[in-house]
Structure 1
């Protein structure tokens, strides 16, 4: 696996970025990589113990904010606390999401449907809403990345709520890009494939799949991706190196959606 030194390519020198769902997995990897690249990072998560530990381990470049992104007042407060701590906002990675559901379309659990939609779809929309308001008020552009999934392009059985939500993330990313491009604000999404996170491991266990045997079915590279590899994609999209990219989805899936 090859990696890039974020201290030289690309650099987010002094940019202020919110990362939701940053207490673990891809969100944690993103917060850490962004701090390495020179950003000041808000580690936003509902899990206070783990989120605070991540922020403290990063150091002065990070602040923890507890937030339930399904609650508008808490999301608005998250953005306000970001500006209070660091003086402005330059970008965001809206990563927070719940574990995929595991029911057939004819049997889905309505309570979990509502909770997943509240977080994965509405929560992402609320995060964009208040991030965009701040970026528009500042008047000097910015970049937002929404984390979708390969399930937003290649549906899986027994994931009806998650698949619907991730399709929705792709759609509303395009709408936000259309509306805010004239203001210099870019909005894109990243669609991770099989990334080795607690969420993926839990889902494989839930369905009774052996990770070692299942990886080749999900990846042309015959392995799971690492959270940092998703973080690198988000880093590029938030940075000025992707200055002519908006309204698109970057697939980081080892070719899964290409076959």
Structure 2
């Protein structure tokens, strides 16, 4: 299937690397005209890679409302309209523990991850309402916004806010024909972890490959996700295939959020073993129930 975004104009923030780059690549291949908003100068290089259907807007800093507004105006000036807004730009933000929480770090993290998505909705929706043809806003959150334990409190809170923002946006914007949905990635092979660990830029790809095996051990499906997996989910929400879907969050995580985080069957089996020893179970006196488990 191809051409799923034919004649649509899309903005993708944070489109120069990782998940954002995967979204840009897929959108262009599906017929979209794409504007990349990123603080990374690499965004300009992508213009040459994807041709005239892909433009970069200088250095767009999504923590600044003026940059977000200018990004939307740029897309409309160059391509005449806006149909899809993808709020993807982000970083791990403040990773301090809750009891050591830095107030300024928390504010910066919320500004980068949650406020930017809210302002992306604001300025994209204004343009879409002006056009009178509706549109789609897709925000990239994280499974950290759904379950605790995947990151620090600041990041978790910001990503959870993105999910609820889409619900609020749907309630307000659906009557205008504007949909808002969220994709929540799990453990995806991108440079973000290496960057947070201080890995030199020239070694990020090598480090990222080293995550394949340990990630695979954690994920029920047995392997980590890649940017294209997230891009396909974003594409679904951006395309007309989801025209009756809004206010929803799709986890793309290989099954991570389907787990409780521990082997309940194994825990019960251990307790039953101890119980049998206590009551002196014999062959003709057995406990009748034992859950299946992976232990």
TM-score (norm 1): 0.91
Moved >6 Å (runs of 4+): none
Question: RCO greater where, 1 or 2, for CA within 8 Å and sep 6 or more?
Answer: 1
The answer to whether the Cα contact below 8 Å between 1:91 and 1:144 also exists between their aligned partners in 2 is: yes
Pair 1:96-2:89 in alignment: yes
Q: Is the 8 A contact 2:139 2:181 kept in 1?
A: yes
In structure 1, distance between residues paired with 2:149 and 2:198: 16
Query: Do structure 1's residue 161 and structure 2's residue 154 form an aligned pair?
Result: yes
Query: TM-score by structure 2 length?
Result: 0.80
Of 81-90 and 50-59, the range deviating more from structure 2:
50-59
Q: Structure 1, unaligned stretches of length 5 or more?
A: none
Mapping of residues 68-217 of structure 1, within 5 Å: 68-156=61-149, 159-203=152-196, 211-217=211-217
Give the secondary-structure state (helix, strand or coil) at the position aligned to 1:214: helix
* Cα separation, partners in 2 of 1:194 and 1:110, compared to 1, 3 Å: same
Change (3 A) 1:156 1:95: same
Aligned residues: 250
Whether the aligned pair in 1 keeps the contact of 2:95 and 2:155 (CA below 8 Å) is no
Question: Are the aligned partners of 1:190 and 1:252 in contact in 2 as well (CA < 8 Å)?
Answer: yes
Q: Name the structure 1 match of 2:7.
A: 14
Matches within 5 A, 1:9-88: 11-47=4-40, 49-65=41-57, 66-88=59-81
Structure (1 or 2) with the larger CA radius of gyration? 2
Residue 116 of structure 1, CA deviation: 1.4
Contact 1:103 1:158 in 2 (8 A): no
For structure 2, the 5+ residue unaligned runs are 200-209, 260-295
